[in-house]
Copies of this chain bind each other. A is one copy, B any other.
Amino acid sequence: MFHAKIKSEVLKGIVDVVSTLVDEAKFNMNADGFDLKAVDPAHVAMIEMNVEKGAFEEFTADETELGIDLDKIKEVLRLARSGDIIEMKQDEEKNRLVLNVGNITRRMNLVDITGMSDPRVPNLSLPAMVEVTSDELQKGIRAAESVSDHIALTATPEDFEMYSEGDTDSATLRLPKELLLSLECEEQVKSLFPLDYFSNMVRSIPAGSAVSINLGSDYPVKLEFEIADKKGSVRYLLAPRIESD
């Protein structure tokens, strides 16, 4: 059983972050909220998300798993204005999700969750931690976009750098310690990532958010940030590309 009401912009934030990696996802509901783990189809990136019931206006749920088509939720969100309340109700008999916005009712079949097992989250020990606003990350991504389809993230005890290099051009965003929210780094670490994945992840982070970046050398990067007015948290993991020198 699942029955909840949620502000449209909060639901939109949740959906944006998940749909960056997958079109359909299994939401594990319980009395306190929900969590979710998913891996993108190419097995390059992973998302872990927890949202407390406090992110909802109303929330009642038994322990249950709901397979949800995120594109359909987006369609409903397009019918709502910011501030509108969206009611979500599980119709257990018909295995459907029923959404209400104002006078509009939208019924959608739940997605088959057979085979949608929760992926195992790898246990990573990442030596460097950089805390930065999502706006700075956006800036670095925009500088990189025309130059290459890869981006190198480097942390040193002094700064954090986003660097892209093409055949004839390069682009660098260098953020010295003073422009970071915090920096923990004993010695330089550097990893290279596919720009499209990294860019999509960063784009889904609410504007003005603090993002904590855990980084190693030729290791996955972990991005952590809060959503739903601090009632939810997200961890993205992205696998590195190994540089051939």
Residues of chain A having any CB pair with chain B under 8 Å: 72, 75, 78-79, 102-109, 139-140, 142-143, 146-147, 168-175, 179
Enumerate chain B residues within 8 angstroms of A169, measured Cβ to Cβ.
72, 106-109
Q: Is the CB of B109 within 8 A of A143?
A: no
Number of copies: 3
Residues of B within 8 A of A107 (CB): 169-171
- CB atoms of A104 and B173 under 8 A apart: yes
14 interchain pairs, CB-CB under 8 A: A72-B169, A79-B139, A79-B142, A103-B175, A103-B179, A104-B171, A104-B172, A105-B171, A105-B173, A106-B143, A106-B170, A106-B171, A107-B169, A109-B169
A72–B146 CB distance below 8 A: yes
CB-defined contacts of A170 to chain B, threshold 8 Å? 105-107
Q: Take A108-B168, A179-B103 as given contacts and tell me if A143 and B79 are in contact as well, using a CB distance cutoff of 8 Å.
A: yes
| 7 interchain residue pairs of minimum CB distance | A109-B168, A105-B172, A75-B146, A107-B170, A108-B169, A104-B143, A106-B171
